[in-house]
Amino acid sequence: MASANLQMKVRTLDQKYQEKVARLFGENSRITYEKCELKDGIEHFLSENHCPDLIHIAHTPYYKEVFDLLLTKVKSETCMIIGQPYATAEKKLWWKEVVADERTGVTFDLYDVGLVFFDKSRVKEHRIVNFL
């Protein structure tokens, strides 16, 4: 993303510091890679900044908490990417709740990821995209 949009700044929060990821991201000055407790890191980021336009929630057991924290700050331009919405029975149930939530707008189910948009000027709908 940072390569495609030269104005974009990317901030990546991870609970476990990964040297390979740090080296890869370190090559681009617009990418910040931080090790932190996700909930604390997101609360700190949101207190200093506005909600990002694109949010990727992946590889964390705290997906519900992260989503709920960010949900209070989203704008109509915000898009959330939910990684592996069918990873567990619990996450599958939660994904269905996200789709039905009146605070979300258009949602797309791509199976490996879910996309959530918040533009309330559009009719709320859910689309399943099958690539087979």
Average pLDDT, the chain: 86
The dihedral sign for the CA sequence 68, 46, 42, 120? positive
- Percentage of the chain lying above the pLDDT 90 cut: 43
**Between 35 and 4, residue with greater pLDDT:** 35
Q: By percentage, how much of the chain surpasses pLDDT 70?
A: 94
Whether the pLDDT of residue 15 is over 80: the answer is no
Q: How far apart are CA 82 and CA 95, in angstroms?
A: 9
C-alpha distances out from residue 105 to 31, 42, 85, 102, 119, Å: 29, 23, 17, 7, 6
Which pLDDT score, from 0 to 100, does residue 88 have?
A: 96
Q: How far apart are CA 48 and CA 63, in angstroms?
A: 21
Expressed in percent and rounded to 5, the helix, strand and coil fractions of the chain are 30, 25, 45
Beta bridge partners of 13: 34
Span 56-108, pLDDT tens digits: 888 788 899 989 989 988 999 999 999 999 999 999 999 999 999 999 999 99
Average pLDDT over residues 117-132: 93
Please give the pLDDT value at position 108.
98
Distance CA 129, CA 132 (A): 9
Q: Which pTM was predicted?
A: 0.81
Strand ranges in 1-132 using DSSP code E only, listed in sequence order: 10-14, 31-35, 54-57, 79-83, 107-109, 113-117, 126-128
